[in-house]
């Protein structure tokens, strides 16, 4: 998840100020009216707007937390996939090392056999001379 840029933050703050102005302008007009009950109605509407704004903030926080959790879970899944791939490659490397050791052992045994044959051939040639 990326951090907000200065431009994003400025746009959010400007939108908040415009929304607050749109909410408060009708209350200001009512409070300047001839009836005396405008202030109490404005306070009720202001309270409701505050509750609504708090609810919206909490809803956005909830959505952000869900998005962050989904991203982290996806990252964990990717980590598990990479770990499984690493284990598979390590197993292949170990298996190939074991095959190489077996082949070297077989070649070593054949080399020992050829040495014995060469020694006996040398002995026969010395006896013939």
* Collapsed DSSP state (helix, strand, coil) of residue 37: coil
Q: What is the pLDDT of residues 31-81, one digit of tens each?
A: 555 555 556 666 667 667 777 877 787 788 888 888 888 877 777 777 888
Average pLDDT over residues 8-23: 74
- What pLDDT was estimated at residue 49? 75
Range of the domain at 72: 6-94
First to last CA, the chain: 88
Any domain includes 107: no
Any domain includes 114: no
Any domain includes 75: yes
- What pLDDT was estimated at residue 69? 82
Q: Name residue, tokens 């980590």.
A: 79
- What pLDDT was estimated at residue 2? 64
Any domain includes 62: yes
Q: Count how many domains the chain has.
A: 1
Q: What is the pLDDT of residues 80-109, one digit of tens each?
A: 888 899 999 999 999 999 999 999 999 999
d(Cα 30, Cα 45) in Å, to the nearest integer? 11
CB contact at 8 A, 31 and 42: yes
Any domain includes 108: no
- What pLDDT was estimated at residue 85? 92
DSSP letters of 64-101? HHHHHHHHHHHHHHHHHHHHHHHHHHHHHHHHHHHHHH
């Amino acid at each position: 998840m990326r951090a907000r840029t200065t431009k994003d933050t400025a746009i959010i703050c400007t939108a908040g100020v415009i929304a607050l102005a749109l909410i408060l302008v009708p209350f200001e007009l009512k409070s300047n009216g001839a009836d005396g009950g405008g202030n109490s109605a404005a306070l009720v509407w202001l309270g409701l707007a505050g509750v609504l704004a708090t609810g919206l903030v909490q809803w956005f926080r909830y959505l952000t937390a869900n998005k962050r959790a989904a991203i982290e879970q996806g990252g964990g899944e990717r980590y598990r996939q990479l770990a499984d791939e690493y284990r598979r490659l390590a197993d292949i490397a170990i298996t190939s090392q074991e095959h190489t050791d077996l082949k070297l052992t077989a070649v070593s045994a054949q080399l020992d056999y050829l040495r014995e044959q060469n020694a006996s051939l040398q002995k026969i040639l010395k006896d013939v001379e």
